[in-house]
Homo-oligomer: A and B are copies of this chain.
Amino acid sequence: MPSALVLIADGTEEMEFTITYDTLVRAGVKTTSAFIPADASSFIRSISPPVAKGSRGINIMPDTYLDAAECGPDKHDLLVVPGGAIGAATMSSNSTVQKLVQDYIASGKYVGMICAGSLTAKTSKLARQPLTSHPSVRAELEEDFEYSDEPVVVSGNLVTSRGPGTTFPFALTLVELLCGKEKREQVRAPMVFPPGTPF
C-alpha cells in the first residue's frame, strides 16, 4: 500500500488539505498529516494532539507533528505541501521541510505542491523545471522555474498545481501516479463530478 505524508500548519488552505488527504485515502493510500508549528524554534510538542487553524477558520487536528526521522522518503512515497498563504509561508521557510523536499526528489519519491505551497520548490532550491502555482505567487517563481498555467504540472517526481479549484485534478493525478490509471477512475466515479468536468 502506498503511503503519503500531507503537511499542515496554521493558515493552511483547508480545502486543498482536505481534498488531497481524502482523495488519497479513497485510493487506499496510507495517509498521515503532520503539523508544522509556525515558530520552528519552539518545536515543542506541548499540545497533543496539535490543532491547525485553516485559512478560513476550520480547525483540523493533524495526525502527528512533523518529525524528520518519521517523515523521510524511506517512510512515505509522497510528500504534499498544500497552499494557503500563511501556512505555505510556514512550510516553505522551514528547514526540515526543505530538506525533506530535497530528499524525496533525490530518492525518486513524489512531491506534490499546490497553490502557494509551490514556493517551497524555490526555498528548497529545486532545479529549474516546469512548475505552476497560485497566480498570486507567480512573480516569485517565474524566474527560477519554467512557469506554466496548466492546472496540474508533472515534472519528473514534482507535481504542482494552482488552487482550490485544481485540487481535485491534482489529487487524482497523485492517485494515478501512485496507484495507476484504473484506481484513478475507481476513485473519481463515485465523486459524481458534473458532466463536462475536464478532469
* A contact set with B: CB distance below 8 Å: 13-15, 18-19, 21-23, 25-26, 31, 33, 49, 51, 54-61, 134-136, 151, 162-166, 168-169, 188, 190-199
Contacts and interface: CB of A to CB of B under 8 A. Distances in A.
Contacts of A136: 190
Contacts of A56: 21-22, 25-26
B193 A196 contact: no
Contacts of A168: 164-165
A191 B166 CA distance: 8
A178 to B, nearest CB: 16
Nearest to A114: B192
A57 B23 CA distance: 11
Contacts of A23: 15
A13 B166 CA distance: 19
Contact of A58 (B13, B60, B135): B60
Given A166-B192, A192-B163, A19 B22 contact: no
A23 B168 CA distance: 15
B193 A165 contact: yes
A188 to B, nearest CB: 8
Nearest to A132: B192
A57 B25 contact: yes
B58 A51 contact: no
11 contacts: A14-B22, A15-B22, A21-B58, A25-B57, A26-B56, A33-B58, A61-B61, A134-B192, A135-B190, A164-B191, A194-B199
